[in-house]
Amino acid sequence: MGAAKQENKLKEKETQFGTVLSVTIVGAVILVTYFVLFGLYMVRV
């Protein structure tokens, strides 16, 4: 019983880390896309 509880806690930590990682990656992609589009726009203007 104790081992199962500890394993569950570990899984929770992993999922939390995965979520944070996903959000960070998505945010980074959005930022990069924004800067690229902004750069292209500035070159044209």
Q: What number is the average pLDDT over the span 16-35?
A: 95
pLDDT value, residue 8: 79
Distances (CA, A) of 6 to 1, 21, 23, 28: 9, 23, 26, 33
- Which uninterrupted H or E stretch holds 5? helix 2-44
In the three-class reduction of DSSP (H, G, I as helix; E, B as strand; rest coil), residue 1 is classed as coil
Q: What number is the average pLDDT over the span 11-17?
A: 81
Q: What number is the average pLDDT over the span 9-28?
A: 88
Q: What number is the average pLDDT over the span 3-20?
A: 79
Q: Mean pLDDT over all residues of the chain?
A: 87
